[in-house]
Structure 1
Amino acid sequence: MSLFIRLIVNAFAIWIVTLIPALQVEVVPFAPGDDLQLVLTLLLIALIFGLVNAVVGTVLKLLAFPLYILTLGLISFIINGFLLWLTGWVTSGWDWGLRIGDFWLAVLAAIVIALINWVAGILFRPRRDRDRGRR
């Protein structure tokens, strides 16, 4: 997937997570809070989440490599939840951004986001990759 499509899919996944009231994840859009501001806010949050994942996530995944082996990869749920929580913390300094109620709810939200990204990766896979598998 291209970078722009990944950004849109992450923004969509974050928006889906905000629709689940039990997860206590909220997006506070730019003022005045219309639909366009909500979309722009979601895109910016997805960009920040991607940057946090690329920079901090890479370091955490390298440091936690023994835990990945020990837990058979289950630690990735905790790390992804932490990265989502960290994105909420980074954007909490402004009047807009991501608000997450609890760390463990961030872990559940990160699992939902990962599932949506997985499905989107299957749907938006380039056509030539699909054709190679059939031959």
Structure 2
Amino acid sequence: MPSAVAFIVRIAVVAVSLWVATLIVPGIDNTAGTTGARIGTLIVVALIFGLINAVLKPLIKTIGCAFYVLTLGLVGLVVNALLFMLVGWLAGGIGLPFAVNGFWAAFLGAIVVSVVSFLLHVLIPDSIDER
């Protein structure tokens, strides 16, 4: 069972990755007014993102296993984009000022979040991250 520190580090990594996505991907916006509100929004969206990826992604991979094999995993990019759109929709639904506008923004945002998360996890020692 991961420790509280590892959980916090993972949420922080996703929040930073989401922040980078808001900076470089047109159509992904965090419109909170203050810096503190923006950080809070990113943390809550990171929690939503983690919950969706923990619950839905394995289910979708299991059900759509044949599509992953047939497309050599490329359908995973589409699945990640759709899950990212779901995160944006849920965030907007609970009143967070975080928006994902369209499939292509979600597609690019999912790639950015994945790459930045990977790079950050490479930099973080395994003893802290517990991966």
TM-score, structure 1 normalization = 0.83
Q: Which runs of 5+ in 2 are unaligned?
A: none
1:3 and 2:3 equivalent? no
Aligned with 1:26 (options 22, 26, 29): 29
CA–CA distance in 2 between the matches of 1:116 and 1:53? 16
Q: Could you say if the C-alpha distance between residues 76 and 39 of structure 1 is closer, same or farther in structure 2, counting changes exceeding 3 Å?
A: same
Q: Could you say if the C-alpha distance between residues 49 and 11 of structure 1 is closer, same or farther in structure 2, counting changes exceeding 3 Å?
A: same
Q: Deviation at 1:23?
A: 2.6
Contact 2:13/2:121, CA 8 A, preserved across alignment: no
Higher relative contact order (CA 8 A, sep 6+): 2
1:106 and 2:106 equivalent? yes
- The answer for the alignment partner of 2:20 in structure 1 is 16
Q: Deviation at 1:120?
A: 1.2
CA–CA distance in 2 between the matches of 1:36 and 1:104? 28
Q: Which runs of 5+ in 1 are unaligned?
A: 128-135
Across the two proteins, how many residue pairs are aligned to each other? 123
* Structure-to-structure mapping, 1:1-135, within 5 angstroms: 2-20=6-24, 22-29=25-32, 33-126=33-126
Moved over 4 A (4+): none
TM-score, structure 2 normalization = 0.85
Q: Please tell me the root mean square deviation across aligned C-alpha atoms, in Å.
A: 1.6
Bigger CA radius of gyration: 1
